[in-house]
Copies of this chain bind each other. A is one copy, B any other.
Amino acid sequence: MPRKNLKSVRTEEYSRTAFELLCEHGVSGTTVDKVATVAGVSKTNVLHYFGNKTKLLEMALRYGNADLAGEVRALLRRSHTPWERVYSVIFANFSKQYFTPKLAHAWMSLCAEVPHQKAYQRIQTAIHRRMRSNLVDALSKITDGETSERVALSISVMIDGLWMRSGLQSEGISRETALALIEAHLNALFPGDKDRLAARKRIAEICDILHP
């Protein structure tokens, strides 16, 4: 059996540790030394694998984002209709495991650095682009092209805003409130759409099964 490369094992291990510290202390509060100490190795060793701090945090953010991406994929895989795909994106973003203040902190830290760090900008752009294309692809089966772009944008803007709130207020917005707000928005745009309501119910159920 082909033993897993030690390099990739270490890389993932340190990325995970860095990501956890990032959630707790933000970008400026996360030092290479702390990551090394928590991981139980020397700072030199961490630097050996990543070269510098920016690369380390970049990998840490990719690690954290991979989770969310996986959540979206898991729901999309079980979706059969356009509306189910729309709700997959929404429910994944407010999943019980991932819609937490800590993750929101890490994400806001990233966003604050984006204007000054190209590497972080790429990650952020990728996240937004993926969300947009998932939403537009699904919505364009439901309405015209221009409307799908507009609705996709408004949904993702609301998601951003809601994540921000959850990170800011100590008693931030709950998963239920967040979902209710998006639902009210969609309900105003597509009132009484049977397909939509059925899709919402089904994806909500799948969500409950995946995270009991």
Contact = CB atoms under 8 A, between A and B. Distances in A.
A109 interface: yes
A158 B154 contact: yes
Contact of A164 (B27, B160, B170): B160
A114 interface: yes
A56 B63 CA distance: 36
Contacts of A66: none
Nearest to A159: B161
Interface in A137-173: 150, 153-154, 156-162, 164-165, 167-170
Contacts of A165: 157, 160
Contacts of A160: 160-161, 164-165
B185 A26 contact: no
A177 B13 CA distance: 42
A2 to B, nearest CB: 41
Contacts of A184: 150, 154, 189
Contact of A157 (B111, B156, B181): B181
Of A114, A115, A165, A170, most buried by chain B (CB within 10 Å of CB) is: A115
A51 interface: no
A29 interface: yes
**Integer count of this chain's copies in the complex:** 2
Nearest to A187: B188
Contact of A185 (B25, B114, B188): B188
A203 to B, nearest CB: 21
Interface string A45-75: 0000000000000000000000000000000
Interface in A102-125: 105, 108-109, 111-116, 121, 124-125
B164 A164 contact: yes
A27 B169 CA distance: 20
16 contacts: A26-B113, A101-B115, A108-B108, A108-B115, A111-B167, A115-B168, A154-B158, A154-B181, A156-B161, A157-B161, A159-B161, A160-B165, A161-B162, A185-B185, A185-B188, A188-B188
